[in-house]
Structure formats: structure tokens, C-alpha cells
Amino acid sequence: MSAAITFHLKGRRALVTGAASGIGLATAQLLARSGASVAINDLPTPALDAAVAQLRGEGCEVHAAGGDLSRSDSACAVAGQAAQALGGMDYLINNAGSPGTRAPIPPADLDALSDEFWDKILRVNLLSAFWMSKALAPQLKESRGAIVNTISSSAFGGGASSTAYATAKAGLVGLTRELARGLAPAVRVNGIAPGYVNSNWDCSFGDIEATAKSGTALQRVGQPQDYAEAIVWLCAGAGYITGQVVPVTGGMML
């Protein structure tokens, strides 16, 4: 299915975190193909190099911004590197995240939720968004830009890879609202809450195709491009929307 919305973003500058695959990659692709200059963050791996090379091969202006966002010093370094490469910042997409487990941890299995596990999940899925937003706040205020956070439908209804992950994403809902208050009126801050996603997510939930067909109104799994379109709209349009989390679930919770 072709995109229903086109964007004209020449002169805009964006940083997408966790963008070597899945929703992040689709968002970086849509931004870059719409004319924006894009910094692509992920862990320094061949997947990041491949994403940058692909878009450069299409004539897009993209920059690699490799780094681990689970540490505040590294996150600040990534933000500074991206802002310098792009000459400022208009859009920050906090998409980096990790389940920290290959299989879902049942809510009753409290023993599996070690201190180390909680620390990792909170750092990657919640604190990284704060660190990146704080580091880039001056540039975003100057450009009167926007922040979009990738949250999760599990923040509202559970069913995540773990209690820690659902809790971190619920915290990201709160952070989205507070950043919207704190950075207003210069910067709009919103989020999306994805449902089922066809991506190489580290945690397996079984046959999500069958689950989505029976459990969503649109009877299909969401593609990364579905989520990217919502993210870019919240960046480049939606001029009177801030502090909101938009469910993008195909009607999973109707």
C-alpha cells in the first residue's frame, strides 16, 4: 500500500534513535526521502552502516550517529555529534528501546526481574529519551521543533515483554506530558503507542500475524511504514497537538 501522505522537508534536520531497523529505520527513510537531513543513531554495528549507505546511495543526506544511549554521557555525546553534523535540530525521534529478553516474562514471575534487568530496561526505554531531549532542548527551542517518543500500547494495557518494559513505557507517557509542559511553547512533544509490529524485535510473541488478524479491527500486523508516517506527521504537521500519545494499533483496543 502506497503512502497516503507526502512530506516536503527540505531544510529540516532530524535525529532518529534506534534507527538501524524496524520503526526507527522506516522513520529515518521517510524523513530522508522527504528531503530532511537525518542523523541515524543505533549501536555501532554493520546494520547501522548499511542503513546509512542505503540512503546515501539514494542521494539522501544522512549521517551515522552511533552510540549506546543507555548511559547519559554517551547519549549526550550522540546528541552533540548529531547537532554538529546537521547544523542544529528540528525533530528528535526517541525510538531507541529494547525488551531485554528473548521471550516474554510472565507478570507473575517476579524473580526474573532482577535489579540489573530493571536498570537496563529503564535506562534504554525511558532514561535515554530524557537524556536526549535534555541535551537537544536548546537546538529544538531555537528551531521551534518537535519531539516524538515511541512508546507502546503496553503502557496502557499490559501484555508487554515484561513488567519492567511496560512500566518503563508507562513512565515514557508521563515524560512525554511533562516535557510538553516544560518545553512549551517552543517545542511540541508527543508520542505514538504502537501495537503489533512486523519487525525484527528481539522478543518473540509467537504468530503475531494470526493474533493481529483476529485481534485488530484492521486484521493485519502494523508495518514499520505505518508507524513512520504517524511519527513524521507529529513532527512536521500536527501544529496544535502537544503532550499527547497517539495509539497506532490497527484498532487493537476498540
For 14, list phi and psi in degrees, rounded to 5.
Answer: -140, 145
Asked if 161 and 104 touch (Cβ cutoff 8 Å), the reply is: yes
Q: How many residues does the chain have?
A: 254
DSSP state of 101: S
For 233, list phi and psi in degrees, rounded to 5.
Answer: -60, -40
Residue 40's H or E segment, with its range, is strand 37-40
Q: One-letter amino acid identity for 65?
A: A
- Report the alpha-carbon distance of residue 208 to residue 230 in Å, rounded: 21
Residues involved in catalysis = 165
DSSP state of 250: S
What residue has cell string 504537521? 237
